[in-house]
Structure 1
Amino acid sequence: MIKIFGLGVAGSYLLARLHGSGFSVTGFDVKRDNYYIPCGYATNINKIKNFMDKINIDIDEYLLSYSDIIEISGNNFKPIYLNSRGLVTIDKNRLEKDIIEGNKKNQKIYPEIIIDATGVSRYYLGRPKDDELYYTKEYLVKKSFKDGFYFYFLKNGSGYTWSFPLNGKYHIGIGSKNINDVRNFSIKSYEKVVSRMIRLKPAFPVSINNIIGTGEAIGSVSPITGEGIVPSLETAEILFKNISKYNDLDEIKRHYDIDIKRYMSRFYKLNKLVNNVQNDKILNIENILALRAASKSLNDFGIDFRLSMVIRHFI
């Protein structure tokens, strides 16, 4: 028996994949029904579609808003306008609920394998000593100061604020390493407000004894964009393939660890890049080598980002 704790995007997807392939699997989540999920809801439609097709979900039914032109601004630079490569917002609450629907969900079975998909809490694996968490505050509002997708990067690369359209409403928020940035960010008129931590560094080990982690529990969030939907699906798919391929738990863990380290290598580079910027260590070889990974992360998010365009902007 495989038991998945945490049915966010990674846990619910893995549940559907395993259940659809005939595995004895069940899942449990502490969230109450109709819980408002704190998340930017933004992802790349072209990336997420590949995963949803595997579990017979039509992602088009969950789309809220498409991006056209994306505005990126910051503390020390004028706005840059970039084209979209698939950046959208989705109804993540309904998507996760529908993925779980029809798959086994129970909390009374003692598992042979526990999947820790509990997100930032990393409840079963435990937090690593070098864990790196950021603070967020997020609002659901009826009106925004921007009609489209907007990012504003804070001073010294500590984080960014954003505004994303949600088909008639907006999701506005801030994520920062500095708690004071979050405390000073406020909106007077809103429907809902939530706050949480977000993990912006790969978290190891990814397994202990019979516990295996996936999703944000192991740090599947881009340190550049803060996007974790597609990266979480990718880690869940990697775990699914290893569970499907190997019958022995130790073999599953060993190969999964190798695959995740390979996949997460770019997130380590991006995390180091962000830390260097925050510590005013901007002009060094390490950062230059990480620019390609940063560009890929933005493109994977659905933003048509080219280094040449940005360089021209600042010259």
Structure 2
Amino acid sequence: MSIKKVRIFGAGPAGSSFAIEALSLLNIDSLELYDGECPYKKPCGEALLNQDMKIYDIDPPIIKEVKDFYISIEGNVIAERHYSTPIWFIIDKEEWISLMRREVIRLGGKMKCARLRPFTENGFLTIDARGPFTEEKKRRIPIARAILEGEIPYEGVLLDFDPKNVGFYWIFPSKGKKFNAGYGSLLSRKPGDSLLEYLQKIVNKPSVEEISTSIITLEYPSPDNRGGIFKIGEAAGTVFPLTGEGIRPSVYHSKEFAKKLSEGLSIEEAYLRSFRMGRMGEIERQMRSQSRILSLLSKAPNFMRKFALRLLPSFLDSYIKKGEIPFI
């Protein structure tokens, strides 16, 4: 089926990636990309795994390389990993999204700064790439992220799990001498308060520059094109439930959808295959299994959650390097 007009709502990683791929592969007459945040700003997603870096149309600007990891449960370190090569990259996400939006414009697309609910129109392929802000009621959790300075007893990344609330704290390096700290959990509704309290315990002389909140989707990928609006990326559930990683799978999904469209498939068939084929199919199966584990943990008593977390060192390398649980 020939597609001549495309309208995308949401110009983050998924929406921008789909736009670039569509403009590159499809012989379309017009592409409109809408987003209410100009410049882009979302307080999460600054860490990228050093996996599949070639999938990004625009290289993400790298702020820091991470080789050292500390894993804690309720403030007590249970495992460390120190690698000789970078395992994670901390990126300037705002600059990266800005560069991708410029590429969309360079390729002939139109970037429009407007926060709109997706709507359909005859002759248009309509894409919902608004991440967790889509209206559908997926499992979403609030998160808080702070940028701060201070003295931190760990060089690298700290992941501190909170079994009581089924979540975790993180502390990453950021620009200069600053740190990126955050918290999200299934059961805590006020992550900002919890994060500030945690930082007072962990960081010596913390100086918080800013703190902001957002939400992320913790589901598994599932096709949703109700009303003729095709959800891609995090709007379709492409976030690893046990790590919160969403950029890489969202980009995979958005690019796969555009590629399947370029093969001449119907829109519906291309959309369904974008979830099931190739690397995205492997990711979908891992996410589905992680979602089941998260559901079990949310229903388990606290002592069982702690027991499960203490198994983490046995598969920690796979968890850190790939965001995956190897035996599921």
- Name which of 6, 13, 32 aligns with 1:9: 13
Letter of the 1:116 counterpart? D
- Name which of 134, 140, 159 aligns with 2:141: 134
Percent of paired sites with the same residue: 20
CA 261–293 in structure 1, closer or farther in 2 if over 3 Å, else same: farther
Equivalent residue number for residue 198 of structure 1: 216
Is the partner of 2:37 in helix, strand or coil?
A: coil
Q: Does 1:41 align with 2:46?
A: yes
Conservation of the 8 A alpha-carbon contact between 2:50 and 2:321: no
Letter of the 2:182 counterpart? G
Equivalent residue number for residue 194 of structure 2: 184
Provide the C-alpha distance between the structure 2 equivalents of 1:28 and 1:63, rounded to a whole number of angstroms.
Answer: 26
- Name which of 121, 130, 134 aligns with 1:118: 130
CA 257–7 in structure 1, closer or farther in 2 if over 3 Å, else same: same
Provide the C-alpha distance between the structure 2 equivalents of 1:64 and 1:237, rounded to a whole number of angstroms.
Answer: 25
Letter of the 1:26 counterpart? E
Q: Structure 1 residue 279: deviation in Å? A: 2.4
Conservation of the 8 A alpha-carbon contact between 1:136 and 1:196: yes
Q: Does 1:81 align with 2:69?
A: no
The answer to which structure has the higher strand fraction is 2
CA 44–258 in structure 1, closer or farther in 2 if over 3 Å, else same: closer
Q: Structure 1 residue 76: deviation in Å? A: 8.2
CA 228–297 in structure 1, closer or farther in 2 if over 3 Å, else same: farther
Conservation of the 8 A alpha-carbon contact between 2:9 and 2:130: yes
Conservation of the 8 A alpha-carbon contact between 1:157 and 1:274: no
Conservation of the 8 A alpha-carbon contact between 1:74 and 1:154: yes
Is the partner of 1:39 in helix, strand or coil?
A: coil
Letter of the 1:38 counterpart? P
Q: Does 1:29 align with 2:35?
A: yes
Provide the C-alpha distance between the structure 2 equivalents of 1:204 and 1:147, rounded to a whole number of angstroms.
Answer: 38
Letter of the 1:118 counterpart? R
Conservation of the 8 A alpha-carbon contact between 1:161 and 1:175: yes
CA 280–92 in structure 1, closer or farther in 2 if over 3 Å, else same: same
Is the partner of 1:10 in helix, strand or coil?
A: helix
Give CA deviations for 1:71-96 in whole Å, capped at 9, x if unaligned: 11112853310234621111111011
Conservation of the 8 A alpha-carbon contact between 1:270 and 1:293: no
- Name which of 148, 159, 163 aligns with 1:151: 159
Conservation of the 8 A alpha-carbon contact between 1:10 and 1:117: yes
Conservation of the 8 A alpha-carbon contact between 2:223 and 2:272: no
Conservation of the 8 A alpha-carbon contact between 1:150 and 1:163: yes
CA 221–13 in structure 1, closer or farther in 2 if over 3 Å, else same: same
Q: Does 1:66 align with 2:79?
A: no
Equivalent residue number for residue 50 of structure 1: 54
CA 156–179 in structure 1, closer or farther in 2 if over 3 Å, else same: closer
Give CA deviations for 1:146-176 in whole Å, capped at 9, x if unaligned: 4311100002461000001013221101011
Equivalent residue number for residue 98 of structure 2: 97
Is the partner of 2:19 in helix, strand or coil?
A: helix
Provide the C-alpha distance between the structure 1 equivalents of 2:73 and 2:315, rounded to a whole number of angstroms.
Answer: 20
CA 258–208 in structure 1, closer or farther in 2 if over 3 Å, else same: farther
Provide the C-alpha distance between the structure 2 equivalents of 1:3 and 1:81, rounded to a whole number of angstroms.
Answer: 46
Provide the C-alpha distance between the structure 2 equivalents of 1:211 and 1:114, rounded to a whole number of angstroms.
Answer: 5
Give CA deviations for 1:255-292 in whole Å, capped at 9, x if unaligned: 33544676422212111112222322759xxx9xxx99
Give CA deviations for 1:11-43 in whole Å, capped at 9, x if unaligned: 11111111122442221111132x432114011
Provide the C-alpha distance between the structure 1 equivalents of 2:18 and 2:246, rounded to a whole number of angstroms.
Answer: 15
User: Number of residue pairs matched?
Assistant: 289
User: What's the C-alpha RMSD, in Å, of the aligned pairs?
Assistant: 3.3
Conservation of the 8 A alpha-carbon contact between 1:157 and 1:277: no
Letter of the 2:41 counterpart? Y
Conservation of the 8 A alpha-carbon contact between 1:140 and 1:191: yes
Letter of the 2:91 counterpart? I
Conservation of the 8 A alpha-carbon contact between 1:144 and 1:170: no
Conservation of the 8 A alpha-carbon contact between 2:25 and 2:258: no
Q: Gaps (5+ residues) in structure 1? A: 308-315
Conservation of the 8 A alpha-carbon contact between 2:132 and 2:217: yes
Give CA deviations for 1:162-221 in whole Å, capped at 9, x if unaligned: 001013221101011122562332157322211011111125442224211111101111
Q: Gaps (5+ residues) in structure 2? A: 115-119, 200-205
Provide the C-alpha distance between the structure 1 equivalents of 2:227 and 2:315, rounded to a whole number of angstroms.
Answer: 33
Is the partner of 2:212 in helix, strand or coil?
A: strand
Conservation of the 8 A alpha-carbon contact between 2:145 and 2:180: yes
Letter of the 2:32 counterpart? T
Letter of the 2:163 counterpart? K
Equivalent residue number for residue 202 of structure 2: none
Q: Structure 1 residue 306: deviation in Å? A: 8.4
